[in-house]
Amino acid sequence: MRLIQSITTQAWSAGFRAISARCEFCERSMTLRHFSAQKAGIRMHGRWYCSSSCFASAAEEKLSELATSWPEPASRLERMPLGLMLVSQGLLSSTEFKAAMGEQREAGVEIGELLVRRGSVSEKQITAVRATQWGCPVFAAPKYPMQSKINIPSALMRLYSMIPLHYVAATNMLLVGFVHNVEYGLLYAIEKMTECKTQPCFVTPSDYQTQMQEIEQAKERSGGTTASELKFESVHSSAEMARILCNYGAHLEADEAIIGKCKEYLWARLKCGPRDVDLLFRAG
């Protein structure tokens, strides 16, 4: 993103194809050579902005709109509690269930994790019951690490205990694995940010940890010392978020920006050629 201060550039006529672009914010236009058009200004959600001030203003409007809106609603279907499902399937006795519930209230841990820790059930059994709760399949991750071509910020994967497992280019479908429950708001955000369709499934905690470690190690190996993910916990003003996004966009010479919302965070993605850089701002 080579954001300019003025747009006095004249049309090129020495054998180059001219491309006219009109800024969506100030409505000024400029004519560019075909090979430089991608590097002038920046696109955001299908619209082109000519300068840093125009992009920052448009980004502030978008961030302010998302900050005050609700994320895509989650499914409201009533589901039988995990413990009761385990009892109904004969995997847990009523006595074990009551004892676990008492311990859970004191320890404040998730019931499935507690039952596995106590040795009452296996994590595969817990995962299978969770999948039944949500009407989703169980994905048995292979022993070797899997890598999806669709990048999701590690902070979101940790926050929601989810992981991108497999992308099918032919159908533009991304298989997303969850450990505890399906976060439909997150799936909606992924679809908006990546333009792919998503399909939820469940994975065991062990498979999740294995795949997560591999993804983070792969990011470290490929990214070196250059960050591909930045998180801002104390920036709440839409104007400040837009300023930060604009500064990073100009520094990285980004071609495109995409902004979405995912529950606790506003998620901005800067596309810099083949590389993506994600900025996460805690909403509110």
- Only one residue has tokens 């595969």, namely 124
* Residue 223: per-residue pLDDT: 57
pLDDT, tens digit, for every residue of 65-111? 998 876 555 555 568 889 899 999 999 998 988 888 888 888 778 88
Element (H, E) at 126: helix 123-134
Q: Is residue 258 part of a domain?
A: yes
Q: Is residue 105 part of a domain?
A: yes
- Strands of the chain, DSSP E: 18-22, 29-33, 42-44, 47-49, 162-168, 173-178, 197-202, 229-232, 256-262, 265-272, 275-282
Whether residues 113 and 192 share a domain: the answer is no
Whether residues 140 and 191 share a domain: the answer is yes
Whether residues 107 and 41 share a domain: the answer is no
Whether residues 208 and 140 share a domain: the answer is yes
pLDDT, tens digit, for every residue of 206-239? 999 988 888 777 777 765 545 689 999 988 799 9
Rounded Cα distance between 265 and 190, Å, is 13
* Residue 225: per-residue pLDDT: 45
* Residue 4: per-residue pLDDT: 46
- Only one residue has tokens 């800024």, namely 23
Whether residues 127 and 140 share a domain: the answer is no
Whether residues 215 and 175 share a domain: the answer is yes
Whether residues 43 and 21 share a domain: the answer is yes
Residue 214's identity, in one-letter code, is: E
CATH code of 143's domain: 3.30.300.160
* Residue 12: per-residue pLDDT: 27
* Residue 17: per-residue pLDDT: 38
* Tokens, residue 100: 């676990």
pTM over 0.85: no
Q: Is residue 75 part of a domain?
A: no
* Residue 72: per-residue pLDDT: 53
**Number of structural domains, the chain?**
3
Residues of the chain with pLDDT under 50: 3-19, 32-38, 225
Q: Which domain holds residue 31?
A: 1-70+226-284
